Amino acid sequence: MTRVLGIDPGLASTGWGVVDADGSRNRYVAHGVITTAAGLPIGDRLLLIHDELNAIIDTHHPSEAGVEALYFARNATSAMPVAHARGVVYLTLSQHRILTSEYPPQAIKQSIVGQGRAEKEQVQELVRVLLGLAQIPRPDHASDALAAAICHIAHRPLRERTRV
């Protein structure tokens, strides 16, 4: 069995979700969101993400992680806070020696729904179904993080075949 941590990085909200992969079966473990207040200095917000992510890792002991890639269409300035949060996420995962892969939103949607241009609601509903949950995981960032974990699990055979 492999325990995978999915992460949807963001400065205001970093979603996380933990899924166990056991053969062809995925089992839900936990999910949540790390939130930081807009009024805090950026360094304090990044430290909070680091500390909370450390606590999640210490609680759930994942061996692998799938992280949603940064996507921005128009405004590079709005992507900067997300990039800062991503840096902290990667630093924290590296400190714990967690094997980490990154997936663009389209690849995550493809893994979950079978279509890279799927609507957010479709992805959320299929995350619910794939993990046998009674309700769609909330908030959205946590659902996205669970989708990243499922995507990471789905890409595992390819990673293993291409490992040098």
Given the residues 52, 141, 144, 152, the one annotated as active site = 141
Q: State yes or no: is 68 an active-site residue.
A: yes
The whole-angstrom separation of Cα 62 and Cα 128 is 21
Catalytic residue among 8, 52, 64, 144: 8
Tell me the C-alpha distance between 17 and 60, whole Å: 10
CB count within 10 Å of CB 110 equals: 17
Q: Is 152 a catalytic residue?
A: no
Q: How far is CA 88 from the centre of its chain?
A: 14
Q: Is-catalytic flag, 121?
A: no
Q: Three-state secondary structure along 69-120?
A: CCCCCCCHHHHHHHHHHHHHHHHHHHHCCCEEEEECHHHHHHHHHCCCCCCH
Q: Please state the length of the chain.
A: 164
Catalytic-labelled residue, pool 52, 64, 68, 144:
68
- List residues with catalytic annotation: 8, 68, 141
